[in-house]
Amino acid sequence: MNQLEYLQNEWQAHNAMYTTLNAIFPQVVEVANELRATLKRGGKILIMGNGGSAADSQHIAAEIVGRYKKERRGWPAIALTTDTSILTSVGNDYGYDYIFARQIEGLCRPEDAVIGITTSGNSKNIVNAIIEANTIGATTIGLTGGTGGKLLELCKHNLVMPSSDTPRIQEAHIFIGHSLCGMLEAD
C-alpha cells in the first residue's frame, strides 16, 4: 500500500467512526449538563488518563481553566497527569495502579466530577480512581471505546466511542472533550 492509499484508508476509518458517533450525542448532552451542575455547585472537574489519554486530559483541563472559544472566567479543572512528584512518589510507594486513586483521595470532594479517559475502559489505575471517586460520592464519567470495559459498570455516565481502534477512539475523545467545553461555554 502506498502512502496515498494509507491516508485514504485512515480517512475512511475516521469518517466511518464519526458517522456512528452521533448515537451517543444524547449522553454527551447529559454529561455536559452534569459538568455544568458541578461547576454551579462549586465543584471542580478532575481528569485523568494514560499516554495519549493523559495528553487529552491535560488538553481538556486547559480548555476548561483557560477558555475554549468564549472569553469568560476560568473554571476549576485539574489534570491528574501533570504532577511528576506525585505520580512518581505514589507509583514508587503504592504502585502505578494507585497514581490516580491517591490523588482522588486527597483532592476530590462529593461536589466534584471525575473523568476517566481510557480507550479500553480497563486501565487499572483509572478503574481504581473511579472506585475511590464513587466512595467519596463524586460524579464519575468514563470516556472509553469498544465495549466500555470495567468503567461501564463503575461510572454514573459513560461515553463509549463506537470503535475498537485506539486512534479512532482517541480522535473521538478529543472531539467529545471539545464539544463538552463548547456546551459549557454556551450558557
pLDDT at 13: 92
pLDDT at 26: 97
H helices within the chain, ranges in order?
3-21, 25-40, 52-65, 84-93, 101-107, 124-136, 151-154, 166-185
pLDDT at 1: 82
Residues 117 and 155: beta-carbon distance below 8 Å: no
Which residue from 127, 118, 117 is spatially nearest to 153, judged by alpha carbons? 127
The whole-angstrom separation of Cα 62 and Cα 47 is 11
Measured over the CA atoms of residue 92, residue 124, residue 18 and residue 58, the dihedral's sign is negative
The whole-angstrom separation of Cα 8 and Cα 126 is 34
What residues in the chain have per-residue pLDDT under 50? none
- pLDDT digit string (tens) for 2-42? 999 999 999 999 999 889 999 999 999 999 999 999 999 99
The domains of the chain, with CATH numbers, are 3-185 (3.40.50.10490)
